[in-house]
Amino acid sequence: MGNPSAENNIARAFKDAGFWTLVAFGLFLPLIGFRAVPDIRNELTLETRWPLLFSFVAIVAVGRLFHNLVIAPWRERRGRRLATRAAVGVPRWRSRFAGVLAPFAVGFALVYPAIAVWLAGPGGAVKWLDNFGIQILIYVMLGFGLNIVVGLAGLLDLGYVAFYAVGAYSYALLAQNFGLSFFMLLPLAGILAAFWGLLLGFPVLRLRGDYLAIVTLAFGEIIRLVLINWVPVTNGYAGVSGVPRPTFFGIPFNASDEGFAAVFGLPYSPIYRLIALYYIILGLALLTSFVTVRLRRLPVGRAWEALREDEIACRSLGINTTNTKLTAFAIGAGFGGFAGAFFAARQGFISPESFTFLESATILSIVVLGGMGSQIGVAIAAVAMIGGTEALRELDVLKQVFGNDFDPTQYRMLLFGFAMVLIMVVRPRGLISTREASVHLSERKKISGALVREGHG
Amino acid sequence: MSALLRVEHLTMRFGGLIAVNDLSFTANRGDITALIGPNGAGKTTVFNCITGFYKPSEGRIALAHGAPQMWDELTALTRRDARSITRPDGALFLLERMPDYLVAQRAKVARTFQNIRLFPGMSVLENLLVAQHNPLMTASGYTAFGIFGIGNYDRAERAAIANARHWLDLTALTDRADDPAGDLPYGAQRRLEIARAMCTAPVLLCLDEPAAGLNPRESAELNELVLRIRTDHNVSVLLIEHDMSVVMKISDHVVVLDYGVKIADDVPAAVRDDPKVIAAYLGVEDEEVGQVEAEVGL
């Protein structure tokens, strides 16, 4: 301790932590310290929440001190260590880990329903399959689809939910009005969504970056407003209900005598339908992933990535950038349409409420958080984001910390926001920031995300 | 000696600024034609017009493949409002009517850029495969067959890799093949850009200041490379360059631009001694300005 510079550092750390404590106090005082509560005569009265305020400020104080004394010196040491080490891209253990991660994740996804039923019983597994399994996989699939447009082709699309909506309404309306089956309509919904992807693609081909983002955002809103206002077809706000559910080769999943459970001599349970839905969406997600992996090895996939890197260079090499962008939009939209059709079949009811901008933002965050262009990164990000928000509902443990009045579901978005900011600070290029080359001559090497461009439109 | 490229009365205006004014020159097949001039003379604008990145305000840019008799079709093609004609013995293109990617794809004009434009986040080998996009696209049945693994896409990709390998060997980049292009040192990036342009199998290679930023040894190697491209691969070269050691050593023919106007068009030795060229590059005494301007025709 006799070292004056170390003492100096500690003093500075405390001073800095004190400063941030004051900032936190100033910020949280109006946000958390006071609360306006309507009293019995419906007049607002001011209620103070000092313990909660002080616990928040204390978290900031202790956290900042911990950062200053432990994390910052560690990061500095690590930075020095990395600088002295020769410029190797990715540590070997990590690339080996990434190599087994994907097969492990697919294997786990395949046996997940069995694990859920085994651990929670057929009744308890409903929540785990529906809220976690199917819900997450829908977003994994949407993430994979948007990844083609944003991650590979570098075209920032803020209106991806429009294609999800087109797929969902295509399935719902065609199934209701023409009585076609789910598996016949699934490709059709994808094709229709891809067609709308082309329609969006044409006018925005000349736009780049921010301008492209704004127009795609507008496109998403247009689709939603059409769904709301075209009442004769879409039934407006009321939505489409009674959308036919997928069947097991013509056998419906219901409690009737012709239902799945009765035909196979099993006791009726909603779990069979959920297991079937789970495997359908898992299959769709795997198909999307497989197609993307194959496309990356084909000239069209390489052209997408080249387009993201440098559009002018692409044109100088004889690549028709118009067609390349349109295929990216169309294929990405097509996968969104598949997911939409599945969504409609799973919910049995769809309304424009399900296709708001927030959905687009969520899907885009999954792609960005996962690391643009990375399949496994997108899958992890979807699990973290969708599973995370769902899991935060379950955090009754926090009641023991903040008292019984504390409702964790109210804070889940806040906690979630914190977590996202933290991840983006620590890993600004997403969870998986390295890019794997689509072809190699002698050695498979990872390409650092620092070199990979994010696209310009 | 037959003409490969004919630039006739090319004028490019940006608003009130005339970047290129009534420029005409011919690049012969198998020649290395250099386009030189002081900064801002309009050289890169000429390149952008030839490669379709700019639409010229006026003028005609024609390029012929195959038999020299193709040039007889020039007037007919110009009248016909078509981009090109193809005959069994060759083809004739009017580049000013073609969009940039078709200039590269059909007319087989490849180019490099003054400020290097590689795909930095893609490996060196991938850069060279992107350059072979069009033949690979055909081999993959425009993705329709390739996605299912039917057809001969795998064989086409192996051939493309072999071709890339050939250019990697020629540009001494083979051991860096799997590294990201953005990681290469500057000189290697310049070579890679040339290799990538050559992977499109061009008939005319347009190099925009390939020696900029290279050290003397690297520029000597560049000379070698460009000469090999010309002799071994039968590709004509159009070259913008400030480095006179490169221009004088390897070019067969030099066109000098100043303020968008052609001031000389001859073999290197003659251009070097041309007083107008010396005046353009080095400037002249104040009292001589009027005389030189009169000679240049300003």
In chain A, ranges of CATH 1.10.3470 domains:
92-392+427-447
Residue B268 has which token pair?
């290197």
- 3-state DSSP of chain B: CCEEEEEEEEEEEECCEEEEEEEEEEEECCCEEEEECCCCCCHHHHHHHHCCCCCCCEEEEEEEEECHHHHHHHHHHHHHCCCEEEECCEEEEEHHHCCHHHHHHCCCEEECCCCCCCCCCCEHHHHHHHCCHHHHHHHCCCCCCHHHCCCCHHHHHHHHHHHHHHHHHHCCCHHHCCCEHHHCCHHHHHHHHHHHHHCCCCCEEEEECCCCCCCHHHHHHHHHHHHHHHHHHCCEEEEECCCHHHHHHHCCEEEEEECCEEEEEECHHHHHCCHHHHHHHHCCCHHHHHHHHHHHCC
H/E stretch holding A241: strand A240-241
CA distances from A109 to A102, A105, A118, A132, A424 (A): 11, 6, 15, 11, 27
Closest-CA residue of A relative to B126 is A439
Where residue B164 sits, what CATH number does that domain have?
A: 3.40.50.300
- Calpha distance B89→B66 (Å, rounded): 6
How many C-beta atoms lie closer than 10 Å to residue B215's C-beta? Answer: 11
Instruction: Answer yes or no: do B129 and B78 share one domain.
Output: no
Closest CA to B53 of B117, B123, B3: B117
Residue A262 has which token pair?
């009765």
Cβ contact, residue pair B161, A441, below 8 Å = yes
User: What is the pLDDT at residue A386?
Assistant: 87
- 3-state DSSP of B109-165: EEECCCCCCCCCCCEHHHHHHHCCHHHHHHHCCCCCCHHHCCCCHHHHHHHHHHHHH
Q: Which residues of chain A are under the pLDDT cut of 70? A: 1-4, 82-98, 395-399, 401-402, 408-409, 456-457
DSSP state of A442: S
Instruction: Answer yes or no: do B208 and B103 share one domain.
Output: yes
Which residue in this structure is represented by tokens 């424009």?
A352
CA distance A323 to chain B (A): 11
In B, which residues are within 8 Å of A303 by CB distance? Answer: 130, 133
Q: Is A127 on the interface with B (CB under 8 A)?
A: no
CA distances from A162 to A63, A121, A151, A170, A187 (A): 41, 38, 18, 12, 17
The answer to whether A245 and A252 have CB atoms below 8 angstroms apart is yes
- Calpha distance A25→A16 (Å, rounded): 14
User: What is the pLDDT at residue A88?
Assistant: 47
User: What is the pLDDT at residue A448?
Assistant: 80
Instruction: Answer yes or no: do B193 and B127 share one domain.
Output: yes
Instruction: Answer yes or no: do B91 and B124 share one domain.
Output: no
- Calpha distance A164→A162 (Å, rounded): 5
User: What is the pLDDT at residue B148?
Assistant: 81
DSSP state of A318: T
Cβ contact, residue pair B133, A321, below 8 Å = no
**Which of B53, B119, B149 is nearest residue A310 as measured by Cβ atoms?**
B119
Instruction: Answer yes or no: do B20 and B133 share one domain.
Output: no
User: What is the pLDDT at residue B252?
Assistant: 92
Q: Which residues of chain B are under the pLDDT cut of 70? A: 1, 284-298
H/E stretch holding A34: strand A34-38
- Calpha distance B35→A126 (Å, rounded): 74
Q: How many CB pairs under 8 A join A and B?
A: 138
The answer to whether B235 and B203 have CB atoms below 8 angstroms apart is yes
Residue B182 φ/ψ, nearest 5 degrees: -70, -15
Closest-CA residue of B relative to A445 is B178
CA distance B120 to chain A (A): 6
- Calpha distance B55→B10 (Å, rounded): 10
Buried (b) or exposed (e) across A108-137, using 16+ Cβ within 10 A? ebeebbeebbeeeebeebbebbbbbbbbbb
Instruction: Answer yes or no: do B63 and B123 share one domain.
Output: no
Q: Are strands B204-208 and B236-240 parallel, antiparallel or unpaired?
A: parallel
Residue B146: inside a domain: yes
Q: How far apart are the first and last CA of chain B?
A: 33
Instruction: Answer yes or no: do B185 and B210 share one domain.
Output: no
Instruction: Answer yes or no: do B98 and B210 share one domain.
Output: yes
Closest CA to B247 of B271, B264, B263, B231: B271
Instruction: Answer yes or no: do B104 and B212 share one domain.
Output: yes
Domain count, chain B: 2
User: What is the pLDDT at residue A31?
Assistant: 85
Instruction: Answer yes or no: do B139 and B56 share one domain.
Output: no
User: What is the pLDDT at residue B285?
Assistant: 64
Residue B221: inside a domain: no
User: What is the pLDDT at residue B1?
Assistant: 66
H/E stretch holding A138: helix A135-146
Question: Exposed, middle or buried by CB within 10 Å (0-12, 13-18, 19+), for B151?
Answer: middle
User: What is the pLDDT at residue A87?
Assistant: 46
**Which of B121, B136, B179 is nearest residue A435 as measured by Cβ atoms?**
B121
A157 Cβ contact partners less than 8 Å away, ≥ 6 residues apart: A146, A149, A150, A212, A213, A216, A329, A332, A364
Cβ contact, residue pair A441, B165, below 8 Å = yes
Bin A289: left if φ > 0, else alpha if -120 < ψ < 50, else beta. alpha
Closest CA to A320 of B139, B142, B177: B142
Edge to edge, what strands does the sheet with B253-258 contain?
Answer: B109-111, B204-208, B236-240, B32-36, B253-258, B261-266
Closest-CA residue of A relative to B148 is A294
Instruction: Answer yes or no: do B69 and B208 share one domain.
Output: yes
Residue B222: inside a domain: no
Closest CA to A293 of A354, A369, A378, A185: A378
In B, which residues are within 8 Å of A438 by CB distance? Answer: 126
CA A414 to the chain's CA centroid: 17
CA distance B103 to chain A (A): 7
CATH code for the domain defined by A92-392+427-447 = 1.10.3470
User: What is the pLDDT at residue B120?
Assistant: 93
**Which of B104, B132, B161 is nearest residue A316 as measured by Cβ atoms?**
B104
Residue B231: inside a domain: no
Cβ contact, residue pair A315, B100, below 8 Å = yes
Three-state DSSP state, A8: helix
Cβ contact, residue pair B177, A291, below 8 Å = no
Residue B227: inside a domain: no
B96 Cβ contact partners less than 8 Å away, ≥ 6 residues apart: B49, B52, B55, B56, B59, B60, B61
Q: Is A302 on the interface with B (CB under 8 A)?
A: yes
- pLDDT per residue as tens digits for the range B220-276: 999 999 999 999 998 999 999 888 888 888 999 999 999 889 998 999 989 888 888
User: What is the pLDDT at residue A327?
Assistant: 94
Q: Which residue segment(s) compose the domain that B279 sits in?
A: 1-108+204-216+236-298
Q: Is A312 on the interface with B (CB under 8 A)?
A: yes
Instruction: Answer yes or no: do B10 and B32 share one domain.
Output: yes
**Which of A299, A314, A316 is nearest residue B111 as measured by Cβ atoms?**
A316
pTM of the model: 0.84
- Calpha distance B112→B126 (Å, rounded): 17
Residue A318 has which token pair?
């004889």
